Structure 1
């Protein structure tokens, strides 16, 4: 069993480096931008920083063809690729977020009609002024506890008016303008990733209808700025571990992505407020099956002993990688067993996560053109003080599947909460950009 490691103990092999020097003051620590076009429609907490993507696309020098993002999220890589005149193919397992990314990239809506219909709905909602008891009786506990009664009444009226419309291309944009408004008008703490309805706060915006229309205005402005001759951009709802989710072999010229970090972030739970409010799901059980179903294992809430053992067995065929993952799993299990009952089972998450990365990298290798570059932004982690060099291990797995590692660049330090909560040795973590090329 390996000793607990710190980042100082890690000595990566020398690499031929791609010269990555992210401009100063770029990127965000958490989530997509609240100001950047398209990103501002909905602040997804797991989002890629737009300026990072734009810089990386420019650095790669790809001038034509298609860019793949197999962790497409809310479509940040897609909108950046489209702005650069490139095609895009994204894969996203979260059904709501895949829908959001798709409408950003389709752009086949009349912006003036969207603005007009949204204004009409707000006007009708204000005129109705329904009583709270008529509109909130069927809401989940999370939703009713997150808003003042009058605010909730306004939200529910807008939702009903949108849902009662004959479905058309405008409805889905108004849906997301309303979902993006929820956390703006909540009177409890609803930060990422978890909602805390027991902790009150001052709502950032008081007028629901006004804030909803402001978000519609952002959408209209962003859609009107699109080039009419934009290249093809597709987001497919699917599991990137499965070959059928991918485009045809050799069809893409680059991959830019930010995979889920191995940090126990539950991507399904992060959008529970929006899912419950819209009626996508109404319980934790529905959330885990309907929304989380095809997501790769990145949190302890998804893990199982059976999945752990199956993953270790499959990774054993990659001798060096399998040994590394097996040793880290054993170290994590040992650390967990020294803690109180109910300690998080990181040892179950880790092997399942790296098996998923292996399956995804195999699919990526098949879909990229020969010589194409993949650039992934990913951080390391230290659950229970056990250092996991996630980017380095991903790089080793990529080499197994026919890629050549080009560079591994630290772009910022991160993870101070690991140092406080879990690490007896003061692990310093980093966010990194790894680059690998299909040979």
Structure 2
């Protein structure tokens, strides 16, 4: 097994003055805030919060009005921070529902936000009166949905959903939809929080009345929209639902048009970003089966989990990686070590197949990003390392090597925080110390 004693003892290599991530923020110890404006609309897993993105953008010294890009836009954390600081923004997000949410945060409000409040009051009033009839139809709901809520709570949620779907919120429909989807985990009677959903384990709901919580979320939205005000006519804010490994997703950007990038790619840690939203997508009716989830959501997402891996994809990725020379050799050695570890287990997970597919995809994203950046443009990526089966994978270091091969120079690589403490007491888990790191690259 690889000697891991010195592989991940990283120190800043240049000391560019980039700020460390705050030890705590508004509503989070790390990751997306549950209280910060716009972040709080829906807490999708992410590597940072908007307050930290703002710190990074300040230190990168990008001229106001210039374009910031994010090839893993998620729920729009970088985008909303860029807007607040008077930058233009272009983001790409593979998850269709999350891309919709990011775009919603960045679009202009359809009118006076007091009308959003009135629309919510109208919806709540109707839902109170129609929840009884909705209760009689609950058997039509997905099994996962039925497991997550008490019947009276689910009846109110379904009544709201049907009213919104039928147009009762008028031009505020998308806002009402996401206020409702953000309410689901707040009122669930089982464990459906991050990082894994477990509807077999009961828990006390954080809020008992879904209609009151829905209205509170609408009030947050209205306040956040008011805080933005009118956008500068010189700023453009755009989110594409697409695959950032595909050059077609970047087509609307001219070569060299972007002046900076702040992003956090999926980590190589077997977290399933598609499955993370299964409850919301089942409830809204956007998917009706696991097969449909895989086909419509997971298929276009960067391979970072064993659930996405296949023999064919891994073989194709290994061929793609050959163009990267020594870094490909490094990846192949890790792949072989992981394969050996897997064969020693009766039901080992196929991390050896994920590894080449993940890094081949990252290489494509970096190439597209490099083409989109102007000379001298800075790139900040927040990413963690990993140790499947105890085999240490220096993900940030390998990414930096891939970046160098497409014209992006590494200027800094620094640790921000320790990772994996959630499972520190799990006796069957590896004891490799992991960290989240910040990479500063430059075109």
Shorter-chain TM-score: which interval?
A: over 0.9
Partner of 1:224: 226
In terms of mean alpha carbon deviation, does 101-110 or 263-272 score higher?
101-110
| 1:12-45 alpha-carbon deviations (Å, 9 max, x no partner) | 6984332223264345456411100000011112
- SS of residue paired to 1:298: coil
Q: Does 1:248 align with 2:254?
A: yes
Structure 1 stretch displaced more, 227-236 or 348-357:
227-236
Equivalent-residue separation in structure 2 for 1:236 and 1:43 (angstroms): 20
Q: Which moved more, 1:22-31 or 1:40-49?
A: 22-31
Separation in 2 of the partners of 1:14 and 1:277? 45
Q: Which residue of 2 aligns with 1:6?
A: 4
CA distance in 2, matches of 1:226, 1:24: 24
Residue in structure 2 matched with residue 259 of structure 1 by the alignment: 265
The answer on 1:46 being equivalent to 2:51 is no
Distance 1:132 1:12, change over 3 A: closer
Shift of the 51–422 alpha-carbon distance from structure 1 to 2, 3 Å rule, reads: farther
Q: Does 1:185 align with 2:190?
A: no
SS state at 2:136 partner: helix
Which digits, 9 at most, give the CA deviation of each residue in 1:242-263, with x for residues without a partner? Answer: 1111122111100000000000
Moved more, 274-283 or 131-140: 131-140
CA distance in 2, matches of 1:161, 1:217: 19
Superposition deviation, residue 138 in structure 1: 1.2
Contact 2:23–2:30 (8 Å) recurs in 1: no
Post-superposition shift, 1:376? 0.3
CA distance, structure 1, for counterparts of residue 198 and residue 327 of structure 2: 39
Does 1:312 find its partner at 2:318?
yes
Could you say if the C-alpha distance between residues 244 and 197 of structure 1 is closer, same or farther in structure 2, counting changes exceeding 3 Å?
Answer: same
Q: Cα 1:405–1:120, aligned 2, differ >3 Å: closer, same or farther?
A: same
Taking structure 1 as the reference length, what is the TM-score of the superposition? 0.95
1:362 and 2:383 aligned:
no
Once the two structures are TM-superposed, the CA of residue 106 in structure 1 deviates from its matched residue by: 0.4
Match of residue 146 from structure 2? 144
Give the gaps of 5 or more residues in structure 2.
none
* Cα pair 2:419 2:435 within 8 Å, conserved: yes
CA distance 1:421–1:249, change in 2 (3 Å) = farther
Change (3 A) 1:264 1:37: same
Contact conserved, 1:253 with 1:368, CA < 8 A, in 2? yes
Pair 1:101 & 2:126 matched: no
Q: Which of 206, 209, 219 matches 1:207?
A: 209
Q: How many residues align?
A: 434
SS at match of 2:69: strand
Residue 414 of structure 1 corresponds to 419
Deviation at 1:292, TM superposition (A): 1.2
Distance 2:427 2:394 in 1: 19
State the distance in 2 between where 1:423 and 1:156 align: 40
SS in 2 for 1:293: helix
Tell me, which stretches of 5 or more residues in structure 1 are unaligned? none
Aligned to 1:352: 357
Alpha-carbon RMSD across the aligned residues, in angstroms, is 1.8
2:379 is aligned to 374
1:173-201 Cα shifts (integer Å, max 9, x gaps) = 00000000001111111111322111111
Q: Structure 1 pair 67/431, CA: closer, same or farther in 2 (3 Å)?
A: same
Aligned to 2:437: 432
- 1:389 positional shift: 0.3
Say if 2:342 is the partner of 1:336: yes
**For residues 46-70 of structure 1, what are the alpha-carbon distances to aligned partners after superposition, in whole Å with 9 as ceiling and x for unaligned?**
3532222111101101122110000
Say which is worse superposed, 225-234 or 57-66, in terms of deviation.
225-234
Distance 1:181 1:133, change over 3 A: closer
Give the one of 283, 295, 299 matched to 2:301: 295
For the 8 Å contact 1:405–1:436, the answer to whether it is kept is yes
Q: Do the aligned partners of 2:12 and 2:413 also contact (CA within 8 Å) in 1?
A: no
CA contact (8 A) 1:78 1:105 kept: yes
The answer to which of 289-298 and 38-47 deviates more is: 38-47
2:23 aligns to what SS in structure 1? coil
| Matched residue, 1:22 | 20
In structure 1, the residue matched to 2:243 is: 239
User: TM-score, normalized by length of structure 2?
Assistant: 0.94
Q: Is the 8 A contact 1:47 1:76 kept in 2?
A: no
What SS does structure 1 have at the residue aligned with 2:244?
coil
Q: Is the Cα contact below 8 Å between 2:68 and 2:87 reproduced in 1?
A: yes
